Amino acid sequence: MMPDDTDVNLADLADGLLQGPEWDAWLAAHPEAAAEVAIARRVRRLLVQLQAAEVALPAGFEQRLMDRIRQDRTLLDLLDLGLSGLGRGLIELLNLLFSLFGAPEPSPALA
């Protein structure tokens, strides 16, 4: 499939469904679209890391994050700082706190 300015799905480019030298050339010729694709790829990497750390994400989180990044590009720097590490750290802290309390004791069965 050859790139056509009227029929380009940036999400497919970000997901890697559209790839190859012709798409690389198309992105080079369209810097605004290339920047959007790069941001989408970074957001998707973050989401994969958060899901791997078993962080539950609310519905529509990716789209809301993309919208916020479009409004304020400084949030993009937070992705580079490893925001997912914060999620993993929070889970580890909760696991530590819960381990201090021990396992819950089973309640006696009601007759």
Residue bearing the bigger pLDDT, 101 or 104: 101
CA distance 1 to 16: 14
Examine the pLDDT at 109 and tell me if it is beyond 90: no
- Is 72 inside any structural domain? yes
- Is 99 inside any structural domain? no
- Is 36 inside any structural domain? yes
Question: What's the pTM value of the predicted model, to 2 decimals?
Answer: 0.60
pLDDT at 23: 92
CA distance 97 to 101: 7
CA distance 8 to 4: 6
- Is 110 inside any structural domain? no
25-64: b (≥16 Cβ within 10 Å) or e: ebbeebeeebebbebbeebbebbebbeebeeeeeeeeeee
- Is 97 inside any structural domain? no
Q: What is the per-residue pLDDT across 62-84, written as a single tens digit (0 to 9) for each?
A: 888 888 888 877 777 666 665 55
pLDDT at 25: 92
Q: How many CB atoms lie within 10 A of CB 76?
A: 16
- Is 91 inside any structural domain? no
Q: What is the per-residue pLDDT across 5-56, written as a single tens digit (0 to 9) for each?
A: 667 888 888 888 888 999 999 999 999 999 889 888 888 887 887 778 777 8
CA distance 75 to 78: 5
- Is 77 inside any structural domain? yes
Residue bearing the bigger pLDDT, 90 or 46: 46
Per the structure, the complete domain to which residue 55 belongs is given by: 10-84
- Is 30 inside any structural domain? yes
When divided into structural domains, the chain yields a total of 1
